[in-house]
Amino acid sequence: MKKINSSLAQSLLAGDRIALAKAITLVESASPRHHREAQKIIDEILPYTGKSIRVGVTGVPGAGKSTFIEALGNFLISKKKRKVAVLAIDPTSTVSKGSILGDKTRMESLARNENAFIRPSPSAGVPGGVAAATRESILLCEAAGYDVIFVETMGVGQSETAVHSMVDFLLLLLLPGAGDELQGMKRGIVELADLLAVNKADGGNLQKVKLAQAAYKQALRLFPPNENGWKPDVVTCSALTGDGIPQIWKRIEDFEKLTKANRWFHVKRQEQSRQWLRERVLETVIKQLRENPKLKKKFTELERQVENGKMSVISATRALVMSFTE
Ligand code: GDP
C-alpha cells in the first residue's frame, strides 16, 4: 500500500472519530482550499474503502426512521460487534436546520456509543451538492472502520432517488394502516426498495399493521422480478420494542450473501461509481461554463448565434467543446 502523507488521513484510518468528523467537515466546506484538502484525503483513503454494507432507510416523516436506526444500530453493535455510522441526506437542509436535526437530539443512546458515528445532513449550500458530500462521507466512514453505514433520508421526494444511488440495500419503512395510498410517497420508491417494513407493530396497532402488510404484499406482486435475483418482501417490526429488528438484519445479510454470490453487489457499486463520475463531470463542465471568463464569453456568443439561426446547435456544441481544449 502507498504511504499515507496526510496526518488527518492517518488518524482517520486509525479510527479516530474526531479526525473523521474533521474530514467530513472539509468535504462539506464551501472553501476551495478545504475542498482540495478533502480530495487529497479521499484519494489517500480510497484503497481502504468499500468494505461496508451501505443501507438506505427511507419513509415519510414520522414513520420511525430515527428510532429504527437507533434500535438496529444498538443491536448491531451489541450483538454483532459491528461499527455503525449514520449519515443523513436532506437536499433541502439549511445550516441551521442541519444542526437542529444533529446528533445531539436524535438517536441519543446510539450517539453515546463509541462504536457509532452519527452525522446530520450536509447543508444544501455545499459545493457539488448534498448527495456528492454524502457519497464522499460514506467513503470516509468506511476508511475509519465503520462496517455498516446507514443513510437516512430526511426530505421527501428527491432524497429517495439520491439515496438509492449510493446504497447497496434500500429499506422502506411504512406506517400501519394507510395501505394502498402509498403514504404520500411516489409509487416509484416502492419499486426501488429491497425490503418494506411496516413499523410500529406494537400495542393496539397490530391489526392495522397486518392490513398494511397484506396490502403492500399485494402491491409488490405487480412489479417485475429484479435482475439481481432478490425478491423484495414486506415484514413488520417495532422500533420501540425491538420486535422484528434482528429478522430485518437477517434479510439484509441474506441479500448481501445472494448478491455477492451472483456478483450483482459488485455490479451495482460499479454502476453507482460510473453514475457518480458522470454527474461530477457534467457539474464540472457546467461550473467551468459559468465561472471561466473565456468559456463564459464563448458560450454567450454561441448562444446568440444559435438564437438567431446563424449556427446550428450541433456546430455550436462542437465549437464549445473545442474551446475547452484551447
Ligand atoms: P422519523 O421522522 O421517520 O425519523 O420518525 P421518528 O423515529 O422520529 O419517530 C416518529 C414518532 O414515532 C416518535 O414519536 C417515535 O417515538 C414513534 N415511533 C417510532 N417507532 C415506533 C414504534 O415502533 N412503535 C411506536 N408505537 N412508536 C414508534
* Average pLDDT per 10 consecutive residues for the chain, totaling 326 residues: 82 96 94 92 96 94 93 98 95 60 66 94 82 94 98 80 94 79 64 94 93 88 89 97 98 98 97 92 87 92 95 94 86
Quote the cell numbers at residue 28.
462539506
User: Best of 66, 67, 199 to mutate for ligand 1, by most ligand atoms within 8 A of CB?
Assistant: 67
Residue 98 alpha carbon to ligand 1 centre in Å = 20
Residue nearest to atom 20 of ligand 1 (CA): 64
Q: The C-alpha cell of 319 is what?
A: 465549437
Strand partners, 55: 150, 169
pTM for the whole structure = 0.90
pLDDT score for 54: 98
Q: What is the pLDDT of residues 76-92, one digit of tens each?
A: 999 999 999 999 998 78
Say what the pLDDT of residue 102 is: 47
Amino acid 158: pLDDT = 75
User: What is the predicted pLDDT for the residue at 57?
Assistant: 96
Q: Which of 21, 19, 24 is nearest to 38 (CA)?
A: 24
Burial class (CB in 10 A: 0-12, 13-18, 19+), 302: buried
- C-alpha of residue 311 to centroid of ligand 1, in Å: 59
Give pLDDT, residue 251: 98
- Specify the ligand 1 atom closest to the Cα of 203: 26
What is the Cβ-side half-sphere exposure of residue 185, based on CA atoms within 13 angstroms? 28
Ligand 1 centre distance from Cα of residue 17 (Å): 28
Q: What pLDDT shows up at residue 178?
A: 60
| CA 205 to ligand 1 centroid distance, Å | 13
- Each as own residue / partner, the long-range contacts of residues 122-126 (CB below 8 Å, 24 or more positions apart, any chain) are 122/27, 122/28, 122/93, 122/98, 123/28, 123/93, 123/94, 123/95, 123/97, 123/98, 124/90, 124/91, 124/92, 124/93, 124/94, 125/30, 125/94, 125/95, 126/27, 126/28, 126/29, 126/30
What is the SS3 assignment for the chain?
A: CCCCCCHHHHHHHCCCHHHHHHHHHHHHCCCHHHHHHHHHHHHHHHHHCCCCEEEEEECCCCCCHHHHHHHHHHHHHHHHCCCEEEEEECCCCCHHHHHHCCCCCCCHHHHHCCCEEEECCCCCCCCCCHHHHHHHHHHHHHHCCCCEEEEEECCCCHHHHHHHCCCCEEEEEECCCCCCCHHHCCHHHHHHCCEEEECCCCHHHHHHHHHHHHHHHHHHCCCCCCCCCCCCCEEECCCCCCCCHHHHHHHHHHHHHHHHHCCHHHHHHHHHHHHHHHHHHHHHHHHHHHHCHHHHHHHHHHHHHHHCCCCCHHHHHHHHHHHHHC
Binding-site residues, ligand 1, Cβ < 6 A: 59, 61-67, 199-200, 202-203, 238-240
